[in-house]
Structure 1
């Protein structure tokens, strides 16, 4: 059995503007539209995710095992790295 490869952080500034928008858009669409008691507009959610990436609270991650891209919190990324290296 092959050992799984650790996730790779992709710096947001290494992506084109269109690619970054696509990653954010895909994430927001997958998250759905149920945000609790108050509905959040799609454009607002896009801006919120963009700010979280800019602040470094959320990182773009490439998973070489599934060949997919995800947005995760910095804390979640650290946990993924630890479990992949265990």
Structure 2
């Protein structure tokens, strides 16, 4: 399920992005400070380049590229 970032309150959105940019194994600009990475990711969300998705099976939230999210949504709707 795609979660529109505009529907989340500011604190929840900030915390979700902060968690995402601090994960190991993600290429998210560790040469920048965390707040810069959060602002960069927020810009990507606002531009529609990335989207927030919720996976009901794993009860997890992730931020993925929009093209991947569209494929993800199609797979979920097939079940």
TM range (shorter): 0.7 to 0.9
1:26 to 8, 19, 24: 19
2:61 to 53, 61, 69: 69
Q: Tell me if structure 1 keeps the 8 A contact 2:51–2:69.
A: yes
* Aligned residue runs from structure 1 range 1-86, under 5 A: 8-31=1-24, 39-84=31-76, 85=78
Count of residues paired in the alignment: 78
Taking structure 1 as the reference length, what is the TM-score of the superposition? 0.76
SS of corresponding position for 1:66? coil
Instruction: Tell me the C-alpha RMSD between the 2 structures.
Output: 2.4
* Structure 2 unmatched ranges of 5 or more: none
Query: In 1, Cα distance between the equivalents of 2:27 and 2:65?
Result: 20
Q: Which has the higher contact order (CA 8 A, sep 6+)?
A: 1
* Structure 1 unmatched ranges of 5 or more: 1-7
Query: In 1, Cα distance between the equivalents of 2:20 and 2:45?
Result: 12
User: Which has more radius of gyration?
Assistant: 1
